Amino acid sequence: MSWTLTPDLIPNLARGAAVLGTGGGGDPYIGGLLAQQALATHGPVTVVSLAELPEDAVVLTVAMMGAPTVMVEKLPSLDEVIAPVQALGTYLGRPVTHVACAEVGGVNSTIPVAAAAALGLPLVDADGMGRAFPELQMVLPTLYGVTASPLAFADEKGNVGVLQTVDNTWTERIARVAAVEMGCSIMISGFAMSGGTAREALVPDSLSTCLRIGSGIEQARAEKSDAVVRTVELLGGREFFAGKVVDVERGTTSGFARGRARIENVSSTLTLSFQNEHLMAECDGDVLVTTPDLIIVLDHDSGEPITTEGLRYGQRVRVIAAPSDPRWHSADALAMVGPGYFGYDIPSHRFDGTLDSVAGETAAHETAAVLA
């Protein structure tokens, strides 16, 4: 069922996306402003479900690439947002019919809204991850053989490029160095998919899910009930730590915001390691949860999501874990986004405390089932 996205829905959409963004994706408020401005200027956007996509659709993802620490200070213009879509449409020689989110996460859930509004195209109620990840090849479509390239990129100065690479990791590598050189954030568009491929490879109903989470937080607050508990219920997750932020190390290196945050309470210390998104939560030296499951930091009282670049000394926060799309636990997926990829030599720790097998035997079995 299609529905209409109007400016009033943006704050909750962005709030929910910041929850699923597991710390990444940039400030939801700032991303929301851009989407609201685009909707006010160009009119509301029609959001269509994956089921409604025609087979011959040309679906492109649109995203901002770079360090969220920079993105929040260098929000793109609408011209910049649509530039890579237009460049890619010209390169493909076919009109683009639908815009989709590569990930859910602050800015990257609202930028596609702005692009869809400015281009007058429908937006797909889906995304490529069901969460946010730091590198562009880290989307489920990669596991289904969808190529990121041709991928177009654009900056605020008017520079545009199109890449045609041998695999999605090379798209990431070349686009990343270009992003760093172009000022640490660029707009990208790629992963051209037919309707059928999008149905198979994307995570369904992402924008609806974001809205439900965002509205849940708002309602809980209005009802004076616990917004964090409401979010945990909606995600099917669990709360595993509460405390005060006592230290944040953060650097913007190689085009990412990398760092570590320490959160303390009377008995324990939680350490969160992140690369744009939270990757690993350790409590007093024990690993509790890792990528690909979701690690989410919420304000202790309001339940508002806090992004990695928004973490500050003294914040009182609660930390929750939630399951990722089950396809992220296949062996191929874990090789791409599991702890090992980010340099942690440990198995993936699921949100519920169970482990994925290191060698991926169980996981390999799951891949076969999932991708069959």
> What does the binding site for a copy of itself look like in residue numbers (CB under 8 A)?
87, 91, 157-166, 170, 173-174, 176-178, 180-182
| Residue placing its CB nearer to a copy of itself in the complex, 157 or 224 | 157
Q: Which residues of 95-104 are buried (b: 16+ CB within 10 A; e: fewer)?
A: ebbbbbbbbb
Cβ-based nearer residue to a copy of itself, 14 or 182: 182
Minimum distance of a copy of itself from residue 169's CB (angstroms): 11
> Closest approach of Cβ 170 to a copy of itself, in Å?
5
Which residues contact residue 228 at a Cβ distance below 8 angstroms, ignoring those fewer than 6 apart? 239, 298, 300, 303, 318, 320
| Parallel/antiparallel/unpaired status of strands 203-204 and 98-101 | unpaired
Residue closer to a copy of itself by CB (options 165, 197) is 165
Least distance in angstroms from the C-beta of 176 to a copy of itself: 8
Cβ-based burial of 200 (10 A; exposed 0-12, middle 13-18, buried ≥19): middle
Looking at the Cβ atoms of 115 and 178, the one nearer to a copy of itself is 178
Rank residues 243 and 255 by Cβ distance to a copy of itself and give the closer one. 255
CB of 91 to a copy of itself, least distance (A): 8
Q: Which of 353, 371, 202, 368 is nearest to 288 (CA)?
A: 353
CA distance 156 to 140: 29
**261, 251, 369: which is closest to 307 by C-alpha?**
261
The nearer residue to a copy of itself, 104 or 148, going by C-beta atoms, is 148
Q: Which residues pair with 299 in a beta bridge?
A: 317
Cα–Cα distances in angstroms (integers) from residue 60 to residues 69, 146, 203, 238, 295, in the given order? 26, 11, 14, 34, 28
CB of 156 to a copy of itself, least distance (A): 10
Distance CA 198, CA 141 (A): 8
Q: Which is nearer to a copy of itself, 9 or 87 (CB)?
A: 87
Minimum distance of a copy of itself from residue 179's CB (angstroms): 9
Residue recorded with tokens 């744009």: 276
| Residue 53 phi, psi (nearest 5) | -65, 130
Q: Which is nearer to a copy of itself, 84 or 360 (CB)?
A: 84
Under a CB-based contact definition with an 8 Å cutoff, are residues 283 and 270 in contact?
yes
CB of 365 vs a copy of itself, minimal distance in Å: 33
If one counts every other C-beta atom within 10 angstroms of the C-beta of residue 332, the result is 16
Nearest distance in Å: CB 119, a copy of itself: 19
